[in-house]
Structure 1
Amino acid sequence: MNARRRQTPDGLPSRVYVKHGSYYWFKPGTNRWVKLCRVSDGETAMLERLTAEKRKAESATGSGNIPALVDDYVDLHKRKHKEKAWPHYAEYVKSSFRDVDVDQVDPAYVVEFLTTNWDGKLHMQRVMRAFLSGFFAWCIIKRHMSVNPCREVKLKKPKARDVYIPDGHFIAIRNALAKEKSGRDVRSGEMMQCFVDLCYLTMQRSTDVRNLQWMHVDREAKVIHFQPSKTEDSTGEAVDWPITPEIDAVLERARTFGKVKGKHVIHSLSGKPYGATAVRSAWDRACERAGLGESVYTVKDIRAKALTDAERAGYTMEQLRVAAAHSDVKTTEIYLKSRLTPTSVVRMNMPKAG
């Protein structure tokens, strides 16, 4: 909604309007309303907040056209991205390129941006290169530039994560999810255990377990219908996972948890689904309580452990590919290769004197 030009003077500063009992500023170049304060707080409070917002906007905008273009790009595309953090990547770009016009950016600018902000953090460099590449591609369509500078930027591929959670550590973390060091119960501990159990027993991505809804639990067919969110727009691979007695027990625990029953299997006491940050924080705190440190293992390592344990139990790579909803067995092989330590069968004897 755009701000309309005033028909009659009302004594308010330019671009400041009263809506729903509050003062709002229509921020130039962004098509956004910024709430300043309640009308009941008075005009002095409004003017102070307006001054602070203008000062912040001026420091962030700079002399280049990139910040304004990034805002337009994010506004148009943020609904297409499932990752909640995606719009926030724009702030890094706006800050670093505030005095640069988009047609001035070359590969050297991009490399400097990535290495200055995320030196040694290869994954984040690739994430931000992808964001920039999408932005520059949009700028080309809008005729603001003619060449995407990210095409010439080559980044080192991050080393495949090779962490495996030993059984003892896994059980210790799982127990710590439900108990504080003092022995007191954690309020959401039982549901966090259900989350971890389903991640392991179904071998699915933590995101898909966290977002699993009861409508996908098919009691009649005795399966859970998983449509992996990561591949639904590409390979479209899906998998029906049988509801084993172990999984059924976990589902029943989840069903009885909390006062409000929502549509999600993994839910809070109020029936709402958990966000990625909530489950990650619960896992990290449990790792710390278990004496393992909060950065040794991640939630994503649960899936790797499950697949690795299944391979050691004798399941074939093709069976694991289907279980993991991978489109190519090579993906499954890569997934497991770094976590499987081969045992040598060579036996040596000490040499004897002739």
Structure 2
Amino acid sequence: MANITKTYVERSATARDDGKPAFFFDDEIKGFGVRVTSGAKTFIVDRKLNGKTIRVSIGRYPDWSVQAARDRAKELIVEFDKGNDVRQQEKRRGDAAVTLKNAFEKFMSERQLKPRTQTDYCRYMDHYLSDWMGKPIATIDSDMIMARYRKIAKSSSGAAQASSVMRTLRSVFNFAIATYGRAVLPENPVASLTAKRAWLRDKARTDHLRPHEIKPFIVAARALPNAVMGAYIEFILLTGARRSEAATLKWRHVDRKARTLTLKETKNHTDRVLPITPRVAEILDAMWHVKIGEFVFGARDKDGKPSHITEPRKAMATLNDAAGSTVTVHGLRRTFSTILESLDCPGIPLKSLLGHSLKGDVTTAHYTQITVERLRPWAERYEQHVLSLVAAPLTIDEPAGESATR
């Protein structure tokens, strides 16, 4: 026993040589003491409750002063003497203070999400909900949800993005309810959007590159300072691959001998084999010479480790400026489909190239096998058409009489 003072804590309360915690208790306040390890000194209270000794941590020194720890110890001892389990009180107090940031970080660490999904979720929180991250989740109510949803929908982000943000938030709140209980979060406030039938419908997007925009778009892509990003965007335009399918393409899924590549991370959870066309082969060759790790479109993450390309938004803005277009990355798939259809590509090869399901058709689902060689002529015809547009001279419509003044 000792008198726990600042001097005692700093000089006399030392760790044991065997690495086990050492305990020093106060001779004035029974049960108040300090637990010492090689890395920390923590104030504690040991007290009996229902015949069992309960230990509660108060806080570390010097974050807690000796006097503050003594005062808190007295409060805890009073609660113990009343028969109250202060551990449950502390837990409820801690749960009530769970912030959206706490819940989201736990959600992200425990849920198994694809890298692309992780990126989207983090972007939603950082861009649209950053001012809520420090708020206790119990204070975010349905009125706040409705106001923020409408604000995002009315912005340039649109209703589709607003709905994606709220669906993500709904998942985080459902996770929080399962983790912390309804005592912390009685109900999911995002559910009010469904109850009030307030979800907004967004018109289907139709963005795609028009023929005259393709040449300046591709020329600008090939001139990007980040050559991997430029190649990645051109690859999507030439193959119709989804952005995540292209980003996660690995070298081991590229078969040069068979002139095929296999997309693994597809939306319908099946592998999709595509033909390697001449220009796509050139892109693959260029990527091999700057190879980083296992991914074709390699990059390094924030820790410097080999990864794959992730966010093309800034590059897409540059290319749209150059082409006078407003196309999204997914709009490049729409371009692929639109041009192929204009070349009279039949529906089944077109669906197969895009990776759309053929299950609705009994013949194609159970009998006819659509091989990669059935797709190759159409992929090559599409590529030749696009490259012919790139090779064509740019034409500029001039106001009448403009050239006569030069």
TM-score bucket (shorter structure): 0.5 to 0.7
C-alpha change, 1:168 and 1:85, in structure 2 (3 Å) is same
Identify which of 237, 255, 258 aligns with 1:200.
237
- Kept after mapping to 2: 8 A contact 1:126/1:155: yes
Q: 1:262 maps to what in 2?
A: 293
Deviation sequence 1:119-177 (CA, Å, 0-9, x none)? 34312321221122112222332322444332331311211111221222111111123
Q: 1:177 maps to what in 2?
A: 221
Any unmatched runs of 5+ in structure 2?
1-36, 44-59, 65-93, 361-406
Q: 1:149 maps to what in 2?
A: 189
- Kept after mapping to 2: 8 A contact 1:89/1:128: yes
SS of the residue corresponding to residue 136 of structure 1 reads helix
SS of the residue corresponding to residue 84 of structure 1 reads helix
**C-alpha distance in structure 1 between counterparts of 2:167 and 2:107, whole Å:** 17
**C-alpha distance in structure 2 between counterparts of 1:77 and 1:267, whole Å:** 24
**C-alpha distance in structure 2 between counterparts of 1:303 and 1:297, whole Å:** 10
Any unmatched runs of 5+ in structure 1?
16-62, 180-185, 331-354
SS of the residue corresponding to residue 171 of structure 1 reads helix
Q: 1:163 maps to what in 2?
A: 207
Task: Return the offset for 1:76.
Answer: 3.6
SS of the residue corresponding to residue 300 of structure 1 reads helix
Report the structure number with the largest CA radius of gyration.
2
Structure 1 segments of 4 or more deviating over 6 A?
none
Identify which of 239, 263, 275 aligns with 2:309.
275
Identify which of 329, 337, 347 aligns with 1:317.
347
Q: 1:297 maps to what in 2?
A: 327
Task: Return the offset for 1:273.
Answer: 4.7
Q: 2:25 maps to what in 1?
A: none
SS of the residue corresponding to residue 204 of structure 1 reads coil
- Kept after mapping to 2: 8 A contact 1:114/1:129: yes
Q: 2:260 maps to what in 1?
A: 223
Deviation sequence 1:79-123 (CA, Å, 0-9, x none)? 533332424544655734866662x66543321232245534312
Deviation sequence 1:46-85 (CA, Å, 0-9, x none)? xxxxxxxxxxxxxxxxx99475254134324345333324
1:71 matches 2:102 = yes
- TM-score by length of structure 2 reads 0.55
Q: 2:276 maps to what in 1?
A: 243
Q: 1:80 maps to what in 2?
A: 112
SS of the residue corresponding to residue 318 of structure 2 reads helix
1:188 matches 2:226 = yes
**C-alpha distance in structure 2 between counterparts of 1:281 and 1:253, whole Å:** 22
**C-alpha distance in structure 2 between counterparts of 1:123 and 1:199, whole Å:** 23
**C-alpha distance in structure 2 between counterparts of 1:168 and 1:329, whole Å:** 36
Matches within 5 A, 1:23-172: 65=96, 68=99, 70-78=101-109, 80-81=112-113, 82=115, 83-87=118-122, 89-90=124-125, 93=129, 95-96=131-132, 102=138, 107-116=142-151, 118-120=153-155, 121-141=158-178, 142-144=180-182, 145-153=185-193, 154-172=198-216
- Kept after mapping to 2: 8 A contact 1:132/1:150: yes
**C-alpha distance in structure 1 between counterparts of 2:239 and 2:225, whole Å:** 25
Quote the RMSD (CA, aligned, Å).
3.7
Paired residues in the alignment total 262
- TM-score by length of structure 1 reads 0.62
- Kept after mapping to 2: 8 A contact 1:165/1:301: yes
